[in-house]
Amino acid sequence: MMISVFLIVMGFTLLIFGANWMVEGASSLARKYKVSDLVIGLTIVAFGTSAPEMVVNIIASSNGYSDIVLGNILGSNNFNLFLVLGLSGMIFPIKVASTTAWREIPISLGVSVLLLLLFYGFSGGDRTMLSLVEGLVLLVLFMLFLYYVFTQLKSETKAPTEKKEKAALNIWGLIVLGLAGLVIGGRLVVDNSVAVAAKFGVSEKIIGLTIVAAGTSLPELVTSVVAALKKNSDIAIGNVIGSNVFNILLILGLSSLVNPVVYTPKFDTDLFILIGGTLFLLTSMLTGQRKTLDRWEAAFLFVFYLSYMVYLVMKEL
């Protein structure tokens, strides 16, 4: 028991240090190549923090566990949208660039709606699946998304700053160390939290709904919270939006190439919550302080997610 608790503490320590290194390295990379923090957040940071989801889903798909594949994607995306952005926005209101309000957030919304259409729009039954063809479609769309992001490298260049720049080796060293800290720290927290919970007689179902579901999103959580504390809104929101797009287009696409992913109606609520939450985020950009996730809006996201988790747990008891 004591060893597990010690490893949990070590895991959170790695998460915190890893997030600090990741944000610092990503910000330095943006300054060095004179591109926006948002572009870095949508690509390098988003891909790095989505690594746990990718590993879990590839393994689950290879074993034919479609429920784990879909549960991980939808659960992680809702965790990112409601809890990560909610907590980050309560720490410091998240101001976003015009492109985020009018392009990146709508892209994330469109990807979520596309997932709904793939499952229900072309099938009249109550069970459908993502086949090889649909997986390829998702991957092609992912490549188009990357192409769009990299076109922003030219349109969102930043003026040179007087701040002393780190050497390229140091920057990439921070990013790699940050990624390693996030992935290893997240794994330590999840594995040992499950072990401690099991010793107290908590069921595997409840553990799965809480610890494991949130576990693969710990990197996004800590990274965005640290970015918010550093008042770097672009990395905070870019990490969440980028991760959610990556999860559906890249990770779910790859998972369906390994094995067809079977969809059942029990995921309807989570999918509609994801679409509704993204729509709320888009609306919040156009109301109140425009292009800003205000504290009360962030608090709404945060409280809604916690309430939904309590409902899920109570339903399973």
Q: What is the pTM of this model?
A: 0.78
159 pLDDT above the threshold of 50: no
Closest CA to 75 of 269, 260, 257: 269
Task: Identify the CATH assignment for 2-316 out of 3.40.50.1000, 1.20.1420.30, 3.10.20.30, 1.20.150.20.
Answer: 1.20.1420.30
Residue-level pLDDT at 248 = 94
Amino acid, res. 272: F
Residue-level pLDDT at 306 = 92
Q: How far is 289 from 120, CA to CA, in rounded Å? A: 36
Query: What pLDDT, in 10s, does the model give residues 73-95?
Result: 888 899 999 999 999 999 888 88
Top-confidence residue, 170 or 52: 170
Closest CA to 190 of 224, 227, 217: 217
Strand segments (E) across the chain? 94-95, 128-130, 261-263, 292-293
Highest mean pLDDT among 51-65, 89-103, 123-137, 268-282: 268-282
Which of 80-94, 114-128, 290-304 is least confident?
114-128
> What average pLDDT does range 260-282 have in this prediction?
90
